[in-house]
Amino acid sequence: MKTLIASRSAPVRTLLSTALLAATPALAQVLPPEVVPIEALPGAAHVTAPAGAPLPGLSSEERLKFQEGKALFEHDFTPAEGLGPLFREQACVTCHISPVTGGGDPTGVDNVIHYTLRNGDQFFQAFELGGPVEQKRSIKQLPGGSACPLDPDVIPLSKPGVGTSPRHTPPVFGFGLLDAVSDADIRAWEGARPWKAPGVYGVANWGVELEGLGKLRAFNLDGGRTQPIGAARVGRFGWKAQTPTLFQFTNEPFNIELGVTTPFFPRENTPNGAQPPPECRLPHQPNDVNSQMTLPLYYFQAFLAAPERGPLTSDTVKGEEVFTKAGCDDCHRQTLRTVKDYHAPWPDGTVHRVAALSSKLLRPYSDLLLHDMGPGLEDVRPMGRASGRMWRTTPLWGLRHKTRYLHDGSANTVQDSILLHGGEGQWSRDAYMGLSAHEKQQLQAFLDSL
């Protein structure tokens, strides 16, 4: 194991890659792209800020939209605004709170519970009796909703074939930057590569671009759409990378977790999929007319900076070398690049170029691909191309702000989560177990700096 680990030395890989690329440009296709320190590359210093702060370089108008979106992210929605009739929480910040607004759930006990139902072909699909996730509250418990007779969801675990998959609330730091990464950059890391350990592949999940920005170059908020439209796009959000764009990642939870219908998700999630009683419905459908609430929520997440690193020490530097030697960066890819011109939907129906998200280098420590993590991490909720054993590589930026780990928050420590890696993560787990105590301390120092 020691010999195997040593063969993956980060400095050796970097120097060799640089020399070969200089001599033979064609070899760029068989070598990992990050061959120089990211700090030395243009744009690298303009994506991070203290946790919860806006992106550096936003215009005054964009900063105002960030602040308005943050206020709405922290707002307790009411039945009069479209909350419910069944819902999980009244505010986004209820779950995205640690250590600041936009963070994750610190407890690990308030997971979103996804339902599944096995059909006759032994294939799991979304469990649609009450929507795809558990709705634990009803507006009948709130002022303005007492006339609604609907009760909160009760998971019918006695029903044959019903299963549940708990999902831990992730932070949304740097989500606009991930939205701005091109499909091609993500797919460049797919499959077996010479710099990866044997058995490590990674595949992209796919979705349909809800807003169609990439193809249409325009944005119509009041189209009355009931289905996602636009081009197929690589997924990057969600534990199984099932969602391709940040605007869709804003719309869908707004609907299935808070119960607010939007032009893109106009369905009320009710028990048995039936229409809600008249006492539970607002006269205006969808509730979020012209996406006037969804857009600010999107702006807050899009303009939220990536979390800055903690102090660098000799141990953190050595720890990153250990990280590379153990093959962790085969999946937790160090660098990604945003597109030259990132456009955001604007309230007037146009698109707006955001310079702070364009032509930037970021270090999320994720390839945003799906990996088979073995039977120990299997769940019962396939999503798109992702089987029950497949999970998106979790970005590690902001790791020092987390207290729970893995998709269900079941790991108490980073080491616990490493030891649960199987499948494509088996090689790195075994490499980790072969490290000396001092190397493990250095690795932990590096991870604690993220």
The pLDDT of residue 25 is 36
**Do 175 and 307 contact (CB within 8 A), yes or no?**
no
State how far the Cα of 65 lies from the Cα of 63, in Å rounded to an integer. 5
Question: Contact 210/245 with Cβ under 8 angstroms?
Answer: yes
Q: What is the pLDDT of residue 106?
A: 78
Q: How many helices (H) and strands (E) does the chain have?
A: 12, 15
Q: Which helix H or strand E contains 189, and what residues bound it?
A: none
Angstrom distances, CA of residue 107 to CA of 328, 405, 416, 442: 26, 11, 16, 27
Strand ranges (DSSP E) for 323-420? 336-337, 343-345, 351-353, 361-362, 370-372, 390-392
**pLDDT classification of 229: cutoffs 50, 70, 90:** low
Of the pLDDT bands very low, low, confident and very high (cuts 50, 70, 90), residue 222 is very low
% of the chain surpassing 90 pLDDT: 61
Q: How far apart are CA 269 and CA 137, in angstroms?
A: 12
Average pLDDT over residues 164-181: 93
Residue 227 has pLDDT above 80, yes or no: no
**Does the pLDDT value for residue 332 go beyond 80?**
yes
User: What are 282-314's pLDDT values in tens digits?
Assistant: 888 889 988 899 999 999 999 999 999 999 899
Task: Kindly list the strands in the beta sheet with 112-118, ordered across the sheet, starting from the edge strand earlier in the chain.
Answer: 124-126, 112-118, 162-167
pLDDT, mean of residues 209-231:
51
Mean pLDDT, all residues of the chain: 84
The span from the CA of 389 to the CA of 380, in Å, is 9
Give the lowest-confidence range in 11-15, 231-235, 238-242, 353-357.
Answer: 11-15
- At 31, is the pLDDT very low, low, confident or very high (cuts 50, 70, 90)? very low
Q: Pairing mode, if any, of strands 124-126 and 112-118?
A: antiparallel
Check if the beta carbon of residue 398 is closer than 8 Å to that of residue 446: no
Asked if the model's pLDDT at residue 127 lies above 80, the reply is no
Question: What pLDDT is stored for residue 44 in this prediction?
Answer: 57
Note whether 85 and 136 are within 8 A (CB).
no
Q: Is the pLDDT of residue 138 over 80?
A: yes
3-state helix, strand, coil in the chain (%, to 5): 35, 15, 55
Domain segments of the chain as ranges:
2-448
Q: Is the pLDDT of residue 18 over 60?
A: no
Q: Is a pLDDT exceeding 70 seen at residue 11?
A: no
Residue 117 φ then ψ, to 5°: -140, 125
Residue 422's contacts (CB-CB under 8 Å, 6 or more residues apart) are 373, 374, 375, 376, 377, 429
Q: CB–CB of 145/85 below 8 Å?
A: yes
Average pLDDT over residues 22-27: 34
